[in-house]
A and B are shown apart, each in its own frame.
Chain A
Amino acid sequence: DTGVSQDPRHKITKRGQNVTFRCDPISEHNRLYWYRQTLGQGPEFLTYFQNEAQLEKSRLLSDRFSAERPKGSFSTLEIQRTEQGDSAMYLCASSSLSRGRDTGELFFGEGSRLTVL
C-alpha cells in the first residue's frame, strides 16, 4: 500500500451535472477526511468518517453534497447539480489511532481537481 489514492485526478463537467470522486485510504487507517481547497486558500474541512460512520459534517456541505464510506474502506464524495462555485481541489486524507488516540497526522492523496463550466 503506497498511500492515499484519489480518482479521478481531474474532472471537467458542465454546470448541472453530477460528479463523483473516490478515495482509497491507507488500508489500516480507520479515519477518513474530505477537504476542499480553492486557489490561494487553505483546505476547508467538509466531512469525516470513523470506519463507516460519518461523524461530522461542515456547514459547507450543502444538500447537493453527499459522502459515503459503505464498508469502512474506500469513500465516495458526490456532488449533484454542480455549480461553478464547486470548482476546487477535493482532497482526501486518512489517519489512524495509536494506543486508542488519534495521532492527528493526516496522510493526503493528491486530490481531485473539479472544473465546472
Chain B
Amino acid sequence: AQTVTQSQPEMSVQEAETVTLSCTYDTSESDYYLFWYKQPPSRQMILVIRQEAYKQQNATENRFSVNFQKAAKSFSLKISDSQLGDAAMYFCAYRSGNAGGTSYGKLTFGQGTILTVHP
C-alpha cells in the first residue's frame, strides 16, 4: 500500500517570503501522480499543483512549484512571494496510475501541514 508522509505539522512564513513544505511517499509503482491540495478554513479542497511521475521536469503554477525527486520519493512544494491568502492546510496526495489495482482511482493523503502567513 502507498503511504504519504508530511513531517511538518505546522509552518509559518512572512508575507512576500518563500516557504517550502515537505512530503515523502512510499510506493512500488512506476506510474503515479502526485498532488498538492490546499484546504482553507472554508474546508473546500483546492488543487494547487500536480506532477506526473513520468515527467522529469518539475511542475510550476505561478508562485507554486515543486521539487520532485523520484529516486528519493520526495515531493516538496515551494510557495514564492507568500500572500495572506495562502494561509491554509496543505495536503500532499498520491494517486496510482495503474488501472485495475486496489488503489486505482483513490487519492492517498498525507496528514497535512498548516501554513500560517504573517503580515
Our verdict on whether A and B bind, yes or no, reads no
Interface residues of B (CB under 8 A from A): none
Interface residues of A (CB under 8 A from B): none
